[in-house]
Structure 1
Amino acid sequence: MSRRRGIMSEQLKNEVAKELGFYDTVQREGWGGIKSRDAGNMVKRAVQMAEENLQDSNRS
C-alpha cells in the first residue's frame, strides 16, 4: 500500500511548530515525537491560517 502524500508542506509544518513552541521536539525526535495535542493544535492553526488567506484573497 502506498503512503499518502501530506497536505501540509514541510515548510508550513515547521513554521507552525515554531509558532506553537514545539519545534525543538520535532528536531530532536521527529514528527512522531510530538504530543497528539500539539498535532491537533498544529492542524487547527493551519486551518486558521488557510481561512485567513482565503478571506484576504476574497477581499482583493
Structure 2
Amino acid sequence: MARDKVMNWKMKHYAARVQGVEGLIEGEHSDYGNLTSRQCGNFVKIALARANELV
C-alpha cells in the first residue's frame, strides 16, 4: 500500500511563503537544498498551526 504524502506541494509553498523563503524553492518537485535545517523544521510547526486552524 502506498503511503499518503505528509505535506503536499501546496502546503510546502504556503509554509515557505509564511517564512519568506518561497523564492528559494520553485515548482512541484522543488529542491529544498537551499533551505537551512531550521527553515525546514519550521515547515512542521507551520503545518501543525494550519491544521489546528482548520479543526
Structure 1: gaps (5+ residues): 55-60
TM-score (norm 2): 0.73
Structure 2: gaps (5+ residues): none
Name segments (4+ residues, structure 1) moved above 4 Å: none
The letter for the 1-side match of 2:14 is E
More contact order relative to length (CA 8 Å, sep ≥ 6): 2
The match for 1:20 is: 19
Give the paired residue count.
Answer: 50
Report the Cα offset of residue 32 of structure 1.
2.0
1:4-32 C-alpha deviation (Å, 9 max, x unpaired): 653111011111101111111113x8212
TM-score (norm 1): 0.68
Who wins on radius of gyration, i.e. which is larger? 1
Identity %: 30
Note the aligned Cα RMSD (angstroms). 1.8
